[in-house]
Amino acid sequence: MAEILNVTPDLNLRVPGPTPLPPEVRAALAQPMIGHRSAAFRELHREVTRGVAEVLRTANDTLILTASGTGGMEAAIANTLAPGDVVLSVSIGNFGQRFRAIAEAYGAKIITLDYPWGAAAEPDDVAAALSTRGDVKAVLVTHNETSTGVTNPLEAIAHAVKSTRPDPPLLIVDAVSSAACVPLETDAWGLDVVVTGSQKGWMIPPGLAFVAVSPAAWAALSADTPRFYFDFKAARRSLVADQTPWTPAVNLFYGLVAALRLIRRTGIEERWRQHARVAAHVRSRVGEMGLELVADPRFASDTVSAVRAPADLDVDNFRRRLLDEHGVLVAGGQGPLRGAIFRVGHMGYLVEDEIDAALDAIARTLG
Ligand SMILES: *Cc1c(COP(=O)(O)O)cnc(C)c1O
């Protein structure tokens, strides 16, 4: 099988998504297929919807879409924004740019708030940008910027957005690489639309996007943006019957049940603590190697570390050697950081020995 699929045996997968799968999840994924309109699937759908909402800390409707994270982001935009709507797009890196590009594709008028790659957004700047514009319908923000390894101070940003005016703009959050790994309080922080993707923090393969939709977001749905597959109203009509409108990726739901049971065993706070502990360890090993992070250290991510390569390092060749000689796969840089950094993922299913093995291999390969 491994040969047919050309899968590297014992790959130490340290990219920021897809991430490794726990044995319980792999076993669940291999179960026989069932009909997606069966009572068994409805039961599965009920359990995972409840579990995902629990992890996102929300009582809001939580939709499970068969799509990658970007599909969830597009769904958020297509349902909340109409052409001509004014949007404040806060970007600290590649994924902030992607969210903006989606809004642009749907005809939004964009006000930009950009930061140098490696920095986090300043809540005061968000408040200032909103104070001069009463017509902003929504704010787009990335919780954890995977291209730079920076986690935005989302709670403070949410506070800035929600205290601007009596009917504040919607806050739409890309939580693709943060949810299930770092503290994220959808309801307590007042987040209106939270989007995440299965292959990052959730310990299952790519293919599902989760979107939590607040009552304010439901009330603000745009009527005149064309959409069909990703129509939230269709998803909600099905949700009340424990269904999805279209055929879902059924076996990913099996995997998700197994992953959510693992999360429930320790509780989500313990997973947040584990990610913080492992990330601190990764950062300290990177420091011992004499290397620096891209991130402002105050906002360094607990799910991915973006490491500046030594000036004379050929990053592509380094990554190839890590893979060929040690079976470790790390990511390169994106956009302007291509060739200048490498990124080590530590999100989802964390086996601390494997992370140490990857760090040892990095240290040895750097010489
Ligand atoms: C991975 C990622 C995405 C995109 O997800 P896909 O599943 O690749 O479509 C979006 N935002 C962030 C922050 C990500 O890390």
Q: What is the 3-state secondary structure (H, E, C) of 315-352?
A: HHHHHHHHHHHHCEEEEECCHHHCCCEEEEECCCCCCH
Q: Please give the distance, rounded to the nearest whole angstrom, from the Cα atom of residue 39 to the centre of ligand 1.
A: 32
* Ligand 1 mutation target, pool 73, 90, 94, 95, most atoms within 8 A of CB: 95
Euclidean distance between CA atoms 38 and 241, whole angstroms = 11
Euclidean distance between CA atoms 359 and 356, whole angstroms = 5
Q: Please give the distance, rounded to the nearest whole angstrom, from the Cα atom of residue 177 to the centre of ligand 1.
A: 7
Q: What is the pLDDT along the chain (367 residues), one digit of tens a residue?
A: 556 666 677 899 999 999 999 999 999 999 999 999 999 999 999 999 999 999 999 999 999 999 999 999 999 999 999 999 999 999 999 999 999 999 999 999 999 999 999 999 999 999 999 999 999 999 999 999 999 999 999 999 999 999 988 999 999 999 999 999 999 999 999 999 999 999 999 999 999 999 999 999 999 999 889 999 999 999 999 999 999 999 999 999 999 999 999 999 999 999 999 999 999 999 999 999 999 999 999 999 999 999 999 999 999 999 999 999 999 999 999 999 999 999 999 999 999 999 999 999 999 999 8
Q: Which atom of ligand 1 is nearest to the CA of 304?
A: 15
Q: Which atom of ligand 1 is nearest to the CA of 68?
A: 7
Residues with CB under 6 A from ligand 1: 17, 68-70, 95, 142, 144, 146, 174, 176-177, 197, 200, 206
Q: Name the strands in the sheet holding 341-345, side by side, starting at the edge strand that comes first in the sequence.
A: 12-14, 328-332, 341-345, 304-308
CB atoms within 10 A of CB 255: 28
Alpha helices in 106-212 (DSSP H): 123-131, 154-162, 186-189, 198-201
**What tokens appear for 35 in the block?**
């009909």
Euclidean distance between CA atoms 361 and 323, whole angstroms = 9
Residue whose pair of structure tokens reads 């599909």 in the numeric block? 71
Q: Please give the distance, rounded to the nearest whole angstrom, from the Cα atom of residue 70 to the centre of ligand 1.
A: 6
Q: Which atom of ligand 1 is nearest to the CA of 206?
A: 7
Please give the model's pTM, rounded to 2 decimal places.
0.97
CB atoms within 10 A of CB 99: 25
Element of type H or E holding 97: helix 94-105
Residues 6+ apart with CB under 8 A from 102: 70, 73, 74, 77
Q: Which atom of ligand 1 is nearest to the CA of 145?
A: 13
